[in-house]
Amino acid sequence: MATVSDTDLKELKELILGLDGRLDRLDQKVESLDQKVESLGQNVGELDKKAEVQAAKLEAINQRLDDLRDQFNKQDNRFWGLFLALFITLIGIVGKVLLFPSNLIG
């Protein structure tokens, strides 16, 4: 069997300590990455909430535009109804003047 010298033990000890230091740095990097992933998850959650709020606002705007369109159509119908009533009245007056001119003279 081979004998182990003190220098071999020191080299093994230094190797183990070096590996231990590397593992510690690796653990720190993994923890750092874990924190970053957690932070990103929180940011995504906040963005989802903001997107929901914006979607609700857009839905409200769409509803208002639909209401405005309905109001415009109602006003348009009122205008054409009034215009038609005035036109029929004008035709009636012109017809009376043309068909019964003697009633105007008196």
For every residue of 16-80, DSSP letters joined together read HHHHHHHHHHHHHHHHHHHHHHHHHHHHHHHHHHHHHHHHHHHHHHHHHHHHHHHHHHHHHHHHH
Computed over its alpha carbons, how large is the radius of gyration of the chain? 45
pLDDT of residue 12: 85
pLDDT of residue 103: 63
Q: What global pTM score does this model have?
A: 0.49
Instruction: Give the C-alpha separation, 104 to 99, whole Å.
Output: 11
pLDDT by residue for the chain (106 residues), tens digit each? 577 788 888 888 888 888 888 999 999 999 999 999 999 999 999 999 999 999 999 999 999 999 999 998 888 888 889 999 999 999 999 988 888 877 655 5
Distances (CA, A) of 35 to 1, 20, 32, 68: 50, 22, 5, 49
